[in-house]
Chains A and B, each alone.
Chain A
Amino acid sequence: MKTPGNTSGAKVGNLINVTSGAASATNDYQTPTIGSNANANATAAAAYDSLTDSVYFMITNNGYGKYSDPSLPVELSGFETE
């Protein structure tokens, strides 16, 4: 990103299911704090691991890791077709 970041540290990841096209704050998942550095370029990335129901986060200047929860909503795959 061209613009310097406005962040004071990376801390939260929200996992939102949008199979139905909607998103709800009640679907939020929080991670432990990943890092405490200012994200000078304010960028990050995330990926979902369908093999282990996990998510990977990478916050520039802070860290990267793997997180999981047994209740991750993979069951919703059939929602749109019901």
Chain B
Amino acid sequence: MRKAFLASAFFFLFLTGLLAQTDVERKLKQELWTNASAEFKVTQAPEKWKNEPAVILATSREYVGDMATKVTKRYYVEKINIHFRIKLQDKASVKEFSELAFDSKTIRNNLFGRASAYSIIGIKVIKANGIEKEVDLSTAVKTDAGSSKDLKIPIPNLEAGDILDYFISFKNESLSMPDFGDEDILEEKYPVVISTIIYTIPQECHFYSQSYNGAPEFKKTQKDRDITYTLKDEIREKAPNLIWNYKFLTSPHIRYRISTDETKKDFKKSAEETLNGFRYNMADPGYLVDFMEGNFKKDKSIDQKKTIQEMYYLIRNPMYLKAYFNINQGDPMSYKYVSDYYFFLINKFLIKKKIPHEIFIVPSRTYGPFADLINLGSCDLMVKVHTVPPIYITRPTPFSIPDEIPYHFEGMEGVGRAFASGVSGNDKVMRSSTLEENTTHSSLNLMLDPEDNSKINVKRSILAKGHNKAYHQYLVFTNYDYFKEYNLSKYQVQSSHRVRDLLKEYNKEKDKFEQRLTQDYNDRDTRIKNDLEEELDAKLSNYKNLSIKSIGMWCDTPNTEYSDEFTLEGLTKKAGPNLIFELGRLIEKQTEIKDEQKNRTRDIYMDYPRSYSHEISFTIPEGYTIEGIDNLNKKTETSLGGFVSSALVKDKKLLITTKKYYSQNHYPAADWLAITSFLNASVDFFNTKLLLKKQ
């Protein structure tokens, strides 16, 4: 359904009236309540769902498009009715539905007093004994300032066993013909007995749809000039709660498009047409050119690769995000979406520098390839620079560097347009990152606290690469640190009045962030401490000496590297003179699959292949020996991934290495058992204990 109009999240209601009931409301209630189809008269839920909190007995989403002539103009008129009938089966669901918020009714009349546009809601409660009572929405009160809705109301006389039956209706008219595509997932928060989706359109329009993952197909019927497409879905279980799931690739749903196109739209072709816009590229890369001229004119060693890197760094610089995209400099670590002009700039600059490249439009792997698209909403632009090897340029984020492709686009085939002769353009599949590229390595040096052997002093260093970096970058960096990273002489050149002003602003922002460094570093340390306590399931104190060697935002230092120190409490337990050491927890909490997710029929979609390794060195305290080392040796490996750990004692130190890895970003459901086996191995390691035995 059209997201602009329809709320599929049925418990957030839109629109109603404080005014007296109008003709249009009466007609809608007649149509949707009095003359409702049989499924909207049902009062009992199927026996198998008797323990569900609520059951959607019936839901209907109906779209009616029609042509209308007024005076001399032809209008396209849309009417949309969304109707839900929900049986509430426990007190918790009554509580959930007992208070509703909504916006004020709007009805716009034309010159003849008829409703030309409206948005209306109706709610009624059906008691277990069959008595129906409409909710008087005129008793609604104002919501708090800042709420997304205007009004709210408690639903009176609502109890477990009751049915809540409500509709939301819209009418709108426009001079333009429809041209939109959208999707509807058939699974809801609660199971659905019957779901009906209806599209009625005039002969001037066309409807194209595709059903996915077991969703039924639409059936077409025609009456006079109107064509109706109807989909009926019955006995649909509620949406499952799954880990590593891309719902548009696994859930039953429909994708559809309504337009005047006589054939189904080819979005590959649409993407190519969009790229034609680059033929008329009017972007002005002046700052880029000035910067390169000013800094590298005499540098004979600068090659294409270096040029591309410098270009990327410059645009990512808060100064130039302001210059090109009017993004304020004062919040550099917050992600700001840069407009498509970014790609026009790059294109223009690369042409000027005679660097061969292609501009791509690439669909996201969370939604699927071009053949499955109903619009270009899931796609993004990308540049492939034809260096050897090629370098991919994507929309910048605060820490991204050239040749890092957002993982949602990895492995997807795009549509490209070449700029320069000799660019083959044969390879249109975006490069996928590998297991070796996305890694986190943690080195931990542990010692029992000499003053209190229930505490463990830890010195830690982290090395993160590829997609694994982002988590650490946002964890350890502050805005001030970011400004300092860009505080380089090459950006201090005042090539114009405008650049002088931008630089002045940059330096001012940097100085001001320095003023709040105490609080920001305090917030950062608290953030890291809380994160460690959560992941290690232990109390942490004395966090200190954070040292960031590299944040990983430059191509010559592409990795995130930092070290810190802290003390952990609660990882050792006394047993007479001996100590039990819960060493396994040092690898941090591991993904544990809940019982209800142990059987899986849907494919597993992860963001990217990756590994997490640990190297732990524990100084065995004087007067103690260690037992239980064998428990630390584990090996569960397949081609899909694995968990491997080993331990040995050397020079009075216990040395442990662990590695957990996921080899792929997509697995068929049949691989679930193999995946859970190495997940379980890592959980076992997390729970492993050692004995420190007093000699």
The answer to whether A and B interact is: no
Chain B residues in the interface with A (C-beta under 8 A): none
Chain A residues in the interface with B (C-beta under 8 A): none
